[in-house]
Structure 1
Amino acid sequence: MPVHQPPNLLDTPEALLTLNTVKQLTGFSKTTIYRRMEDEEHPFPRPKKLSKACVRWPAGVVKQWLQEVIDAPQ
């Protein structure tokens, strides 16, 4: 029986990520994610507001931010 593998959401740039998914991908807490949005050097992308109580991050934007942070000089 084949093993089911969840899709890699970062490979689908138009996928919309929940806060919990962003926390898992970054290893950051909710507080850290929102604080990083104010960072001057590498601000974390702001979410898209889909409704009054629903925000999502485009996977492509999160992936690009992660790559920029990895590639940034120390």
Structure 2
Amino acid sequence: MIDKILRRAAVEEMTGLSRSTLYRMMDRGEFPRPARIGQRAVGWRQSSVNTWLSQCASAEECRA
């Protein structure tokens, strides 16, 4: 199965996290880093986001 690449808006919708929270969590190593998909574009592997979500009872708990 091909791992779908998600853009930031889709990741925000899936997780319920804002842009600033996503990047803050990435800086702290608490959220997966995106893959570069173009010169000025990044995207997250859907499997990475799903794994992160499965490790949390809810995205609210993971915002700490």
Assess same fold via TM > 0.5.
yes
- Give the conservation status (yes or no) of the 8 Å contact 1:13–1:59: no
The TM-score normalised by the length of structure 2 is 0.79
Runs of 4 or more off by more than 2 Å in structure 1? Answer: none
Listed as ranges, the gaps of 5+ residues in structure 2 are: none
**2:36 alignment partner, SS class:** strand
Distance 1:52 1:69 in 2: 32
One-letter amino acid of the counterpart of residue 23, structure 1: E
Distance 2:11 2:44 in 1: 8
Paired position in structure 1 for 2:12: 23
How far off its partner does 1:70 sit?
2.1
Distance 1:69 1:38 in 2: 18
**1:57 alignment partner, SS class:** strand
Aligned residues: 59
- Which residue, 20, 43, 48 being the options, matches 1:56? 43
